């Protein structure tokens, strides 16, 4: 392996390498621990948590596409208290950063979860704002800047010293407007992109393949969208970015870092290859070595746009 420093810093949090596993694709790590030491990862973003347990959406809730998958799992999870009691101690066995992902229906729910998780000792909290605000008629927090800012302010007020990273939705006209709103509200970092809404229909039954009709598209198909949005956001705000969306190899991760990301997350690729994050890490390191870099972090923001 080339002698390249793999360590990066994200919102003051140092990671041994820039590769994180994305929320919702790694569970709480128990299954993947059968394949390798989870301490080899830069960080683990645990499955999305809600204040109370959720059973998720009815099946079918996964549908393959030629370049990815659609999912409408519906945030199935045991609830934040169960995570703190049973899953966090397991994750803490490993030499890696633990990031908790949270979703709520009201700002108050986000605040309660941030307080619980900060006291429990997670390294970072990822705030999913692609959730419906029950007080605003089901409008997703991430689609309106004032709602995104409100959640960010509440999260920061209850997270103590734990950094708050806000996960942005790509299902907006201009993602930089939302990025600026959460930056002004005090976010420590941003993660993007979340899934893109999509739909598949069985032409024989004429019914949508997913029981909830639509779902979130992830996988290689969304990489160019993710690269574009990371680049736009990095130009608009001065916050560290965790880039994600379609990362399956080192070159994919390098694109996101060159666009402005400080670290990257691997998600859908895990379903086909549990070793994908380690391959991305090694591929990224080899690419940096070929380019004569002494640190992987030197890739961040290195894109040379034509104009």
Angle, vertex CA 249, rays to CA 245 and CA 253, nearest 5: 55
d(CA 286, CA 280): 10
d(CA 259, CA 223): 12
CB 99 within 8 A of CB 121: no
CB 169 within 8 A of CB 178: yes
Active-site option among 8, 13, 131, 140:
131
Measured distance between the N- and C-terminal CA atoms of the chain, rounded to whole angstroms: 36
Which run of H or E residues covers position 16?
Answer: none
Burial label, 292 (beta-carbon count in 10 A; 0-12, 13-18, 19+): exposed
Burial label, 161 (beta-carbon count in 10 A; 0-12, 13-18, 19+): exposed
d(CA 13, CA 4): 19
Contacts of 254 (CB under 8 A, 6+ apart): 284, 287, 288, 299
d(CA 142, CA 172): 8
The yes-or-no answer on residue 131 being catalytic is: yes
Residue 92 tokens read as 């803490």
Enzyme catalytic residues: 131
């Amino acid at each position: 392996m080339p002698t390249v420093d793999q360590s990066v810093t994200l919102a003051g949090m140092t990671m041994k390498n820039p590769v994180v596993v994305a929320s919702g694709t790694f569970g709480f790590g128990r299954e993947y621990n059968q394949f390798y030491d989870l301490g080899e990862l830069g960080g683990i973003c645990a499955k999305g948590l809600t204040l109370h347990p959720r059973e998720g959406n009815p099946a079918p809730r996964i549908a393959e596409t030629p370049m990815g998958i659609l999912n409408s799992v519906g945030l199935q999870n045991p609830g934040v208290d169960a995570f703190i009691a049973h899953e966090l101690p397991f994750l803490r066995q490993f030499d890696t950063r633990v990031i908790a992902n949270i979703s709520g229906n009201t700002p108050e729910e986000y605040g309660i979860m941030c307080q619980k998780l900060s006291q429990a000792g997670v390294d970072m909290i990822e705030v999913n704002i692609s959730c419906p605000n029950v007080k605003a008629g089901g409008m997703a927090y991430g689609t309106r800047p004032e709602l995104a800012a409100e959640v960010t302010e509440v999260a920061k007020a209850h997270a103590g010293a734990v950094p708050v990273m806000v996960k942005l939705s790509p299902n907006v006209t201009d993602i930089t407007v939302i990025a600026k709103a959460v930056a002004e509200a005090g976010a420590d970092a941003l993660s993007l992109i979340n899934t893109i809404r999509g739909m598949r229909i069985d032409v024989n039954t004429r019914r949508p393949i997913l029981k909830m009709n639509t779902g979130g598209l992830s996988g290689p198909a969304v990489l160019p969208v993710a690269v574009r949005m990371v680049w736009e956001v990095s130009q608009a705000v001065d916050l560290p970015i965790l880039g994600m969306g379609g990362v399956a190899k080192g070159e994919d991760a390098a694109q996101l870092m060159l666009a402005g990301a400080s670290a990257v997350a691997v998600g859908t690729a895990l379903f086909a290859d549990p070793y994908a994050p380690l391959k991305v890490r090694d591929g990224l390191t080899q690419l940096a070595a070929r380019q004569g870099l002494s640190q992987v972090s030197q890739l961040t923001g290195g894109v040379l746009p034509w104009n």
